[in-house]
Structure 1
Amino acid sequence: MKRYYRVMLGAKSVHAEECKSGSFIGADFSITEDLTMSLHENWKDFNRQFIPIWMAGHPEKGKVSAGLSCGALWTIAKGITKGDIVLCPNGEGSYMVGEVTSNYVYNPEGVLPHRRSVNWHQNTISRSDMSDALRNSAGSIGTVSDISKYAAEIESLIGNIQISTIISTDETVEDPATFALEKYLEEFLVSNWKHTLLGKEYDIFEEDGELVGQQYPSDTGPIDILAVSKDKSTLLVVELKKGRASDNVVGQIQRYMGYVKEELAEPSQQVKGIIIALEDDQRIKRALAVANNIEFYRYEISFRLHKN
């Protein structure tokens, strides 16, 4: 099945024009070897092989940064398949759109040496034409992100057909209105993190001054927010309910925490979780009564008009 990805072509899209003229996408991550014989079917196996190599070249970095970098490299080199669609920012407020046409190729003499050939479409997609949800996902921090859940909208934009309705295809979403609201909450929470209760104790993960803890990739889906305590002793997984069934969100955060514990946490670090929802949820509270290290937070929205 065709999938859709947002791919950054260098920091601030510095290589976008060269990639367009050369008909390719690519990545670097300071891995200077041909990956052809090392592209495991499972990205976790790839990470186990290359995280030590990456960390040897970046001794000041931790497992979170290493996992993000190696996971993105595997996705570009292997995870994206022929026929998939890539959206790449051109640095001018639009996205180049292309179809991947080859398997992995190594070009050590050029920029972004770990490459895939791409047939670029003539038209681009303007950020202003995207729905808020797609715009937020396509603008997320990180080299590559899977935006396949917006396939219908992307296809409409590629065909220059504007759509006015956001449709959720996630069968776990019980309340689409709350889902849309809590997507905005995620952006608000990230933007105002330092002014929240959580921000007093935790920092969202950053990499070279940029947030990488929002929508952090894992083997069971992207983590809404991944944070670390100010004393570095605790990794925090934050998941917004987003209108989903209570059982689904509890199971999901437990899977995320398991991933963080096994793949990202240092031996001295513990892992905690927080679920945030619009309303009091008795089902979540019951489930968390027998779950370790997961707390439930409810948020409130205040809206007032003042006559001058």
Structure 2
Amino acid sequence: MERQAPRKYLVVEPGADGAVSVTEMKRWCRQNPDRRPPNTDPDRGNSQKLARAFGYAGWSVELTATEVRISPSKEAAVQAAAVLDAESEPLEDEGESSEETAFALERQLQDFMVSNLRAIPVNGKRLRLHVDETSDGVEYPTSSNRRIDILARDEDDNFIVFELKRGQAPDSAIGQLLNYMGWVKLNLAKDKQVTGVIVARDISERMREAIVMTTNITLFEYQLRFELSAISQATATA
């Protein structure tokens, strides 16, 4: 099967004269440091996380067959699409690419965790998002320009660091999580405890063995469930 070319990440802004400005996302961030999402660095991290940061900052992020288009608002995205797609022939829907599916699954997992955080006890205690002047607890930035997927607090104000993996959690996830936990301990927690949580589709036996040596990392597996509902055929209207 022919490998699909990676999507281009573009910042698309309509102008007052009806023209459309199209700039490669990371180049745009370098050119507009005062407008890019806070606590982001275009020269560090991958394009997916940077695009997600735009979405959290209120920008519109739209996927096409070949591009990820980022616009200041939904209205701007519609206006830009009308110009960019005016001369394009319609494309048949061949299904989502692996990149698009992965991007969507990771975002959906994060959204689910945030929406149901109070129903996910850790160490027997209910959680809430850690909110401060830096972030609302989602994609919390660290000093190394890396982002904690979810940063929460429990009933005793102890910190909970979540690392989310859409598939099988690699062994390196523990090292990554410990790095985040150390940063939180040094910069936020002070005398409070810090617990790490890895949430993945599949947790390996090696990872289960690794956490035997630590008491402050918890593992969760998630499951996807699908329900099918029969839909009747259309009937003639009177």
SS in 2 for 1:153: strand
Which whole-Å CA distance do the structure 1 matches of 2:32 and 2:52 have between them?
23
Is 1:247 matched up with 2:171? yes
- Structure 1 or 2: more helix by fraction: 1
Asked which structure has the greater CA Rg, the reply is 2
- Structure 2 residue aligned with 1:197: 121
Is 1:257 matched up with 2:181? yes
Does the 8 Å contact 2:168/2:202 carry over to 1? Answer: no
- Structure 1 residue aligned with 2:16: none
CA gap of 1:202–1:135, structure 2 versus 1, over 3 A, is same
- Structure 2 residue aligned with 1:153: 68
- Superposition deviation, residue 241 in structure 1: 1.9
Which whole-Å CA distance do the structure 2 matches of 1:305 and 1:289 have between them?
40
Structure 2 stretches of 5 or more lacking a match?
Answer: 1-8, 12-25, 37-47, 59-66, 71-76, 232-238
2:54 to 138, 147, 151: 138
SS in 2 for 1:246: coil
Structure 1 stretches of 5 or more lacking a match?
Answer: 7-82, 87-97, 102-115, 119-131, 143-151, 169-175
Which whole-Å CA distance do the structure 2 matches of 1:177 and 1:291 have between them?
34
- Superposition deviation, residue 260 in structure 1: 0.6
Which whole-Å CA distance do the structure 1 matches of 2:174 and 2:126 have between them?
23
Per-residue Cα deviation, 1:22-57 (whole angstroms, up to 9, x for no partner): xxxxxxxxxxxxxxxxxxxxxxxxxxxxxxxxxxxx
SS in 1 for 2:166: coil
SS in 2 for 1:242: strand
- Superposition deviation, residue 166 in structure 1: 5.9
Does the 8 Å contact 2:119/2:126 carry over to 1? Answer: no
Does the 8 Å contact 1:133/1:183 carry over to 2? Answer: no
Does the 8 Å contact 1:216/1:222 carry over to 2? Answer: yes
Is 1:290 matched up with 2:213? yes
- Superposition deviation, residue 205 in structure 1: 1.1
Per-residue Cα deviation, 1:42-92 (whole angstroms, up to 9, x for no partner): xxxxxxxxxxxxxxxxxxxxxxxxxxxxxxxxxxxxxxxxx9424xxxxxx
Return the letter of the residue paired with 2:221. R
SS in 2 for 1:305: coil
Which whole-Å CA distance do the structure 1 matches of 2:145 and 2:177 have between them?
10
Which protein, 1 or 2, shows the higher relative CO under an 8 Å CA cutoff with sep ≥ 6? 1
Q: Percent identity?
A: 31
SS in 1 for 2:113: helix
Aligned positions of 1:157-168 closer than 5 A = 160=84
